Structure 1
Amino acid sequence: MPRTKEQFEEMRNATKEKIHSAAMKLFVRQGYGSTNVQLIADTAGISIGLLYRHYRTKDQLFHELVTYALEGLKRNIAAFESGESPKQLMDQFVDEVYHDMMNGEELANLLILMNQSLLASADKDDALHEEMLQVNARLLDVTAQLIRTGQQLGEFRAGDARELAVLFYAAIQGLANLKVLLKEEFSMPSPSVFTSFLYKEGV
């Protein structure tokens, strides 16, 4: 019985997920330059011909992964700008980070991949690099504003909101690096520990 259009789409998406997972793992662990398409295909458990059906070049695949990570940051920006309770928004975000770090490698790999991409293209004048800079700067701005609002409501600790936002994201990036380095030995701090420098005691 021939496959339906929906079944073909499911197979296509499943293959792309395998490619994404394999490529992220390899790019993070051995670098973009040391990773070739044959190795990505082997790690994904597919033929190189099937990989080329989805991506013409390694650069195209890398670009799509970075774009995917950027879309996630944009969703975070939209959530932080929603006008909901600052503490509830921060709790939700930290819970998501905690569960993603505990249950898989995708978030850690995406964060490291974005960092690698920013550093590798620092001397280039391309649209993706500029978008990454703008989105990261915007995320920092809206997070600082969220913290200021939380401070005004008496829920967040006093202090320079932008400095606290920088520390917050530096901690997440550092945890991503540790997860990749320590592997099974990695232990993610609980959400209450992770937010202890942001919230007032007893709130």
Structure 2
Amino acid sequence: MPRTKEQYEEMRNATRDKIRSAAMQLFVHQGYGSTSVQDIADTAGISIGLLYRHYRTKDQLLNELVGYAVEGLKRNIRSFESDQSPKQLIARFIDEVYTDLSNGEELANLLILINQALFASAGTDSQLHEEILQVNARLLDATAQLIRKGQQLGEFRLGDAKEMAVYFYASIQGLAEMKILLKSNFQMPSPSVMTAFLFKVGE
């Protein structure tokens, strides 16, 4: 019985997922420059010909992965710019980070991959480089504004909001790197530990 159009689409999406997963793992663990298209195909368990049917170049694959991560950052910006309680927004965000870093490597890989792409394109006029810089700057600004609002409402500790925002993301980035480096020895800090510098004691 011939496959339906929907079945072919499911197979196509499943193959792309395997390619993206393999590429992300290899880019993070052995570096973009040291990863060949053949390495990606072998790790994904597919032929190199099938890989090329989905992605014409390794650059195209990297750009799609980083683009996916950047879209996630944009969603965080929109969330932080909403009218909801600053404490609830930060608590929900940290709960998601905690769950993702505790249960798998995807978030850790995405965060490391963004940094790798940023460093790799430094000194170029790459559109991707500029977009990552702009989104990171917007996210820092949105988070600092959220912290200021939380301070005004008495939910957060006092301090320089921009410095606190930088520390907030530096700690998450550091946890992502430790997750990959320490593997099974990694112990994810609890949400209360991650927000101790920000939330008022007893709040």
| TM-score by shorter chain over 0.5 | yes
Which residue does the alignment assign to 1:22? 22
Opposite residue 29 of structure 2, the aligned amino acid is R
SS of structure 1 residue aligned to 2:84: coil
Deviations 1:20-74 (A, max 9, x none): 1110110011111100011101111111111111000111101111111100000
Which residue does the alignment assign to 1:126? 126
Q: Percent identity?
A: 76
Which residue does the alignment assign to 1:53? 53
Deviations 1:144-182 (A, max 9, x none): 000000001101000000000000000000001101100
Which residue does the alignment assign to 2:176? 176
Which residue does the alignment assign to 1:31? 31
Deviation at 1:142, TM superposition (A): 0.1
Unaligned runs of 5+ in 2: none
SS of structure 2 residue aligned to 1:198: coil
The CA RMSD measured in Å over matched residues stands at 0.7
TM value normalised by structure 2 = 0.98
Opposite residue 116 of structure 1, the aligned amino acid is Q
Deviation at 1:10, TM superposition (A): 1.3
Opposite residue 195 of structure 1, the aligned amino acid is T
Opposite residue 38 of structure 1, the aligned amino acid is Q
Which residue does the alignment assign to 2:44? 44
Which residue does the alignment assign to 2:107? 107
Tell me the distance in 2 between the aligned counterparts of 1:96 and 1:7: 32
Tell me the distance in 2 between the aligned counterparts of 1:193 and 1:152: 22
Deviation at 1:14, TM superposition (A): 1.1
Opposite residue 102 of structure 1, the aligned amino acid is S
Deviates more, 1:6-15 or 1:101-110: 6-15
Aligned residues: 203
Deviation at 1:8, TM superposition (A): 1.3
Which residue does the alignment assign to 2:12? 12
Which residue does the alignment assign to 1:97? 97
Tell me the distance in 2 between the aligned counterparts of 1:144 and 1:169: 11
Deviation at 1:13, TM superposition (A): 1.2
TM value normalised by structure 1 = 0.98
Is 1:2 aligned with 2:8? no
Alignment of 1:121-200 (within 5 A): 121-200=121-200
SS of structure 1 residue aligned to 2:33: coil
Deviation at 1:17, TM superposition (A): 1.0
